[in-house]
Amino acid sequence: MSERPSLWWIDWRLSRGPLVRETIGRFLFFCLLGFALLSLLLSGGVSRILADRFAITAVLRAEVPSAEGEGLARKAAALPPVRSATYRDPEAAWKEFLRAYPGLDPLRGAGENPLPGYIEIRIRPDRLTGEDVDFVASALRSVPLVEHVLAGEEWLPRLLRAGRLASWACWGIFGGFLAAFFLVGRLQERARAVALAGDFAFLAERGVPAGRLAFLRVAGAAISGFLLAAAGTAAGGGALFLFLRKFPFLEGGIGPPSDLLLPRTVAAAALFSCGAALLSAAASLLGWRAARPGRK
């Protein structure tokens, strides 16, 4: 009984050196893509940056005492779209104003503080939409203690539109990198198939079906692609975690490191790995077909 050799990982057996280089390259690329993917997932594109810049200001009436202002801030913080609501009394408002306009301090002399207290309301990044902002602003306007609500009605739609465009651009870039990964992978697969064409012809002459050979190579590429994507994403996530810990000010734009362990983040990373496996398999198949005799 003749022993039939296993066709799994045939490329590893036939061309170990180039395959090691390709694997290292793909891992590093997946690390980069994983870092970018997780950053995009955490920041929601530029939503977190916009949410950090945008705030609704509820200007209170002059006679509202601090206790009532703080109570109103707590109520505002309980609204679903609201991330935080901070009350600032007239004294704090006056100091902030004078910090912005330091030259005005000596002008006023002994005059009393003309500014009232206010509540600064920040929206959750994932709820930073025109509807949610309007909802919060309307809720605040209905409160008798509030004299005026500043919600950027004039410029917020433009800002949100710009934010959406920026997010799409980010995801587009990410998609471009994926496409580049696919094209590069296809070229690598084709080149390897051409290089191993003699070996594959030899196997065919001994009765190994070409289809089986191609299938096993695609399956091997998918498994290796999934594992590499998962490992690269994990490594990228780790790097992002360390990066955010080292530079906390970036949390305002990206998000807290703890969000990396959220199930939705992990699920997104797993989905990305699956996608990477599919892309690897497709690149392998297309490379195989491109390397068949009679094709360029």
Partner 1 sequence: MTRGTRRILSVLLAATVSLCILFPPAAPAARDVAAELRKERGRLLQMKEREEKTVQELTEALRMEKRSKGRVGELQEQLKRQRSLLSRIDRKVSALNERLEGTEKAVRKLEAAHGQARTALQRAEVAAFAGQRTGAGDPLHPSARERERHFMRAYLAADAEGVDRITRAQERKAEELSGLERQVAVTEKKMAREKKVGDTLLSRQEEERRRLADIEREKKRKEKELKSLRAKIVRMESVVSRVERQVKERERRAKKWMAPGSAAREPAEAPRRFASLSGGLSAPLAGKVVTRFGRQHDTTFDVTIENRGVEIEAPSGASVKSVGQGEVAFAGAVSGFGNVLIVQHGGGLFSVYGRLETFLVKQGEAVKKGTVVGRLPGSPSGKSVLYLELRAGGTAIDPTSAIPLDS
Binding residues vs partner 1 (CB under 8 A): 53-57, 59, 93, 97, 99-104, 107-109, 111, 114-116, 118, 120, 148, 150, 152, 155, 159
Starting at the edge strand found earlier in the chain, the sheet holding 118-123 runs: 82-88, 118-123, 56-60, 146-150
Between 46 and 203, name the residue whose CB sits nearer to partner 1.
46
Tell me the closest approach of the beta carbon of residue 111 to partner 1, in angstroms. 7
Taking alpha carbons only, the member of 99, 31, 54, 73 closest to residue 252 is: 54
Q: Output the six-digit token pair for 37.
A: 């993917």
CB of 67 to partner 1, least distance (A): 22
d(CA 270, CA 267): 5
Q: Which CB atom, from 120 or from 132, has the smaller least distance to partner 1?
A: 120
Of 49 and 266, which CB lies nearer to partner 1 in the complex structure?
A: 49
* Smallest gap from residue 115 Cβ to partner 1 (A): 5
């392998």: which residue's tokens?
284
Minimum Å gap between C-beta 157 and partner 1 is 12
Please say which residue, 26 or 88, places its beta carbon nearer to partner 1. 88
Angle between helices 263-291 and 210-246 (to 10 degrees): 140
Tokens in use for 110? Answer: 């002994």
> Which H helix or E strand runs over 228?
helix 210-246
Least distance from C-beta 172 to partner 1, angstroms?
A: 23
Q: Of the two residues 98 and 223, which places its CB atom closer to partner 1 in the complex?
A: 98
CA 29 vs CA 126, 177, 249: distances in Å? 29, 9, 26
